[in-house]
Amino acid sequence: MAQFLIRRALQGMLVILGVTLVVFVATRMVGDPVQMMLPLSASAEQRAAFSQQLGLDQPLGTQFLAFVGDLLRFDFGDSLWQRRPAIEIVLTKLPRTLELIAAGFGFAVILGVPLGALAAMRPDGLWDRIIVSLSLIGLSVPQFWLGLILVMVFAVGLGLFPTSGSGSLSHLVLPALTLGIPSMARIMMLTRSSVIAELNQQYVRTARARGLPFAHILFGHAMRNALVPVLTLAGWEVISAWAGYTVVVETVFAWPGLGMTAMGAINHSDMFLLQAIVFVVALGIVLVSLLLDLLYKLIDPRIDLA
Amino acid sequence: MKPEHMIRAALLGAVLAAAQPAFAADIAIAIGSEPSTLDPQQRDDGDERAVTDNIYETLLARAPDGTLEPGLAAAMPEQIDPLTWEFKLRDGVSFHNGEPFDADAVVASVARIIDPDYASEQMAYLSTIAGAEKVDDLTVRIMTGDPDPVLPARMYWMKMVPATYSADPAFAESPAGTGPYRIAAWNRGESIALEANPDYWGGAPEIDGVTYRFIAEGGSRVAGLMAGELDLVRNLYPEFLGAVPNSTAVPGLETSVIVLSTENPVVSDPKVREAMNIAIDREALAQALFAGRAQPAKGQLVNPKSFGFNPEIRAYDYDPDRARALVEEAGATGQTVTLVGEAGRWLKDRELIEAVGAYWAEAGLTVDIHIEEFGEYLNQLFDKDHRPDAIFVVNSDELLDADRPLTAAMEYGASYASNADEEMAAQIRAARAETDVEARKALYGEITMKGYEQSYLVPLLNQEDIYAMSDRLSWTPRIDAKLLVKEMSVSE
């Protein structure tokens, strides 16, 4: 176990380092922040002077060494765009994105798993058909469109929630739904097929023949096995939301999270801020995958982590 | 009243009560992104200006139609020698934190913004300024490095900050200006609230408070307006004109243009360049893409409201037959022209670029359109060695003066000009330093006329700024696109 943790931590550090370096090179190759920041009609001389003031006229190699040196001391530098420490910006935006993911994803799991199991009880029954149809709708609608429709119906039409913004629980409802509905649909579908497969297993038939109550069979045995693939999917949902899928929802609902900040950093060619965002996101992904591995072990003790 | 009507009315009432701010004379305005600072001298950012234009003031201001007039200065400045301008200051004005507005504040404001260590993005507007000195408490002189006739317009740009407090790190978060509104609260990520300054030297404004919300997506802004959460939204997409409660438009600062290279094959022929101008039906573009909220540009990049606009030049005629004939005469039929642009930075940019490409194709050219990612687009826009045959750009004439647009688009070597006309470059430089108003105007007359005759540019449209408003807000938008809350009122 300890060996496993150490190995994964080392792997994780390599991933994070690799990703940040790629971002450094990519941001320097794609856009010149000075061109982005000054008005277009600024003269070549004005741009050169500004570049010098920001220290961006140094050779790329020199800048790269300085960057790596700072990174080793966990200093991400100041955001070019906002002129304050990049990591500070990331840390103020981070909780807002986590809040959104927790709400959207919590909703997806709390509804998706039981509904999927309910559908699996009687495949092709009434509940199954309703649930499968609903999840197909949830899977097919584009997220930005779903968000705008929710706004038109529940905010503009019925006035139940604010159209956008943040700061209260009622602000959270529509963005969380928009983020959660496609995830819920996927989780529901997978739980359904996974539970159906388990219920057809030999051990379930044996348990039924022995006269065990169905609820005990379902929750005590079948669900536990069926949840392993669901957990994999759930982990993927969290990671993909975390790695940038929230940006659509954040844009539609003017939610001040990390996704919007990343967009701003890209639009300003702000490599220092982007660097800090990517670092924190990569760290999060490494941690979530580690957590998932540990959860597998908890659900199914047969899984060997070493 | 039938019961269901009563219920509906009650529900409506509840919704309105929930959506409207507590005080009737508070309004909400949407801006596209959260300002990174409220220090008004640091960045060049329109969303930040939407807020700080109400907190801070400048020595000179503009009337809604664009005319320069005294602001914090008591009168228009006097030029006492080619490099020095003298400003008399308004008496009895103070900053929100109690510091007096006087010559010391002006000297400190100037010194602060031109300090290289401060690295202000606004130096692109102010780089001629060399310093300031106090004459007496209410008289100050501003010096330029070279003779600078645009200095008054620059002083309409430079916001005045308090001499002492502006050095405090807290200044960026908790600003103090001389303006009609002062900061009430800044909820990071959510909103900025300003409240009326009861001691404003120009008299307390009518609207008690204003809240700025940060909404990047155009559709979400319109939804906020329809739900009664917002009173004013700018940069409305023309498609939404029918959906919003109220809207208004005003000729804006932006002009779309295509810069043609005079050095590349095919476009080096003036006949081809003229054909590229008259092949375009600008009126149709304005109607189809902008719902009529744009005007064909008058054959030049200079804004019709700017100093140096040449009223002698008319918009290029739309004459597709002659365009085809000219291309044929030049032996360019079927030749390839590259048109470079971007998408998403300016309203309808991609649509405009593609439509222009189609008009050129009709005139007989083969048009190769490259829509680039914005960073790559900027690299090509500023690349001195490889000029694209044609590159799309939108110029915003913030100072309402011909110098910046002409320098950027037509002065060889200065920014993104694609000609190699040394003579014109010398004229533009001369006009920049010409302090005699009439002589300067005459120079711009010559420059714009030559640019027109030589078709160095394909000026497209003078765009209008479109605003959507709630029914209760009354406001007349300004030519300089400033959102001055003191000029607004609500009816209730």
pLDDT at B489 over 70: yes
* A57 has a chain B CB within 8 A of its CB: no
The phi and psi torsions of B26 (rounded to 5 degrees) equal: -105, 140
CA dihedral (B225, B229, B232, B234) positive or negative: negative
Average pLDDT over residues A18-43: 81
The reported pLDDT for the residue numbered A40 is 86
- Angle of helix B437-454 versus helix B403-410 axis, rounded to 10: 30
**Contacts for B287 with CB less than 8 Å, ≥ 6 apart:** none
Query: Taking a C-beta distance cutoff of 8 angstroms, is the pair B421, B412 a contact?
Result: yes
pLDDT band per the 50, 70, 90 thresholds, residue B11 = very low
3-state secondary structure of B74: coil
What DSSP element (H or E) covers B50?
A: helix B46-55
Q: Report the CATH number that the domain containing residue A111 is assigned in CATH.
A: 1.10.3720.10
Q: Taking CB atoms and an 8 Å cutoff, what residues of chain B touch A165?
A: 190-191, 213, 215
Percent of chain B's residues with pLDDT above 70: 95
pLDDT at B274 over 90: yes
pLDDT at A249 over 80: yes
CA dihedral (B424, B429, B431, B432) positive or negative: positive
* A143 has a chain B CB within 8 A of its CB: no
Q: Taking CB atoms and an 8 Å cutoff, what residues of chain A touch B407?
A: 41, 43
Q: Is residue A176 part of a domain?
A: yes
The reported pLDDT for the residue numbered B2 is 45
Q: Is residue A224 part of a domain?
A: yes
Q: Is residue A110 part of a domain?
A: yes
pLDDT at A29 over 80: no
ipTM of the complex: 0.85
B227:A38 CB<8 A: no
A35:B213 CB<8 A: no
pLDDT at B390 over 50: yes
Which DSSP letter does residue B169 get? G
Structure token digits, residue A240 = 């993909």
Whole-angstrom Cα distance, residue B195 to residue A164? 23
pLDDT at B233 over 70: yes
The reported pLDDT for the residue numbered B10 is 45
Query: Taking a C-beta distance cutoff of 8 angstroms, is the pair B287, B318 a contact?
Result: no
Highest mean pLDDT among A210-219, A244-253, A275-284, B179-188: B179-188
The tally of domains found in chain A comes to 1
The reported pLDDT for the residue numbered A52 is 85
Largest separation between any pair of C-alpha atoms in chain B? 80
The reported pLDDT for the residue numbered A305 is 65
Going by their DSSP bridges, the two strands B336-342 and B390-396 should be labelled as parallel
Whole-angstrom Cα distance, residue B256 to residue B457? 10
Whole-angstrom Cα distance, residue B450 to residue B421? 11
Q: Which member of A37, A42, A254 has the closest CB to residue B220?
A: A254
pLDDT at A275 over 70: yes
3-state SS, one letter per residue, for B309-338 = CCCCCCCCCCCHHHHHHHHHHCCCCCCEEE
A43:B414 CB<8 A: yes
AA identity, residue B69: E
The reported pLDDT for the residue numbered B138 is 97
pLDDT at B17 over 60: no
CA A32 to chain centre: 29
Task: Give the residue, B8 or A254, on which the prediction is more confident.
Answer: A254
Q: What is the pLDDT of residues A99-154, one digit of tens each?
A: 999 999 999 999 999 999 999 988 889 999 999 999 999 989 998 899 999 999 99
Q: Taking CB atoms and an 8 Å cutoff, what residues of chain B touch A30?
A: 373, 375-376
Q: Taking CB atoms and an 8 Å cutoff, what residues of chain B touch A26?
A: none
* B384 has a chain A CB within 8 A of its CB: yes
Q: Is residue A179 part of a domain?
A: yes
Q: Is residue A82 part of a domain?
A: no
Of A119-133, A209-223, B160-174, least confident by mean pLDDT is: A209-223
Average pLDDT over residues B357-371: 97
Whole-angstrom Cα distance, residue B128 to residue A120? 75
CA dihedral (A164, A168, A174, A177) positive or negative: positive
Average pLDDT over residues B330-359: 95
Q: Is residue A22 part of a domain?
A: no
What is the least distance, in Å, from the CA of B410 to any CA of chain A?
11
Q: Which member of B117, B229, B414 has the closest CB to residue A163?
A: B229
The reported pLDDT for the residue numbered B4 is 47
* B184 has a chain A CB within 8 A of its CB: no
**Contacts for A8 with CB less than 8 Å, ≥ 6 apart:** A286, A289, A290, A293
The reported pLDDT for the residue numbered B57 is 98
Average pLDDT over residues B427-442: 94
3-state SS, one letter per residue, for chain A = CHHHHHHHHHHHHHHHHHHHHHHHHHHHHHCCHHHHHCCCCCCHHHHHHHHHHCCCCCCHHHHHHHHHHHHHCCCCCECCCCCCEHHHHHHHHHHHHHHHHHHHHHHHHHHHHHHHHHHHHCCCCHHHHHHHHHHHHHHHCCHHHHHHHHHHHHHHHCCCCCCCCCCCHHHHHHHHHHHHHHHHHHHHHHHHHHHHHHHCCHHHHHHHHCCCCHHHHHHHHHHHHHHHHHHHHHHHHHHHHHHHHHHHHHHHCCCCCHHHHHHHHHHCCCHHHHHHHHHHHHHHHHHHHHHHHHHHHHHCCCCCCC
3-state secondary structure of B484: coil
DSSP calls for B100-158: B-SHHHHHHHHHHHH-GGG--TTHHHHTTEEEEEEEETTEEEEEESS--TTHHHHHHHS
Domain enclosing residue A169, as ranges? 94-257
B408:A50 CB<8 A: no
A156:B19 CB<8 A: no
pLDDT at A43 over 90: no
The reported pLDDT for the residue numbered B12 is 47
The reported pLDDT for the residue numbered B22 is 40
- For an interface test with B, the pick among A35, A36, A40 (most B C-beta atoms closer than 10 Å) comes out as A40
Q: Which member of A42, A159, A269 has the closest CB to residue B375?
A: A269
Going by their DSSP bridges, the two strands B294-296 and B139-144 should be labelled as unpaired
Average pLDDT over residues B487-492: 89
Whole-angstrom Cα distance, residue B410 to residue B420? 9
Q: Give me chain B's average pLDDT, please.
A: 92
Whole-angstrom Cα distance, residue A277 to residue A261? 8
Quickly tell me which residue has 């309004």 as its tokens. B27
* A49 has a chain B CB within 8 A of its CB: yes
Highest mean pLDDT among A272-286, B236-250, B445-459: B445-459
pLDDT band per the 50, 70, 90 thresholds, residue B295 = very high
Q: Which member of B34, B213, B408 has the closest CB to residue A41?
A: B408
B123:A152 CB<8 A: no
- Number of neighbours of residue B378 by Cβ within 10 angstroms: 22
Q: Is residue A223 part of a domain?
A: yes
pLDDT at A63 over 90: no
pLDDT at B217 over 50: yes
Q: Is residue A32 part of a domain?
A: no
The reported pLDDT for the residue numbered B7 is 46
Of A57-66, B56-65, B132-141, B350-359, least confident by mean pLDDT is: A57-66
pLDDT band per the 50, 70, 90 thresholds, residue A306 = low
* B392 has a chain A CB within 8 A of its CB: no
Task: Give the residue, B438 or A49, on which the prediction is more confident.
Answer: B438
pLDDT band per the 50, 70, 90 thresholds, residue A80 = confident
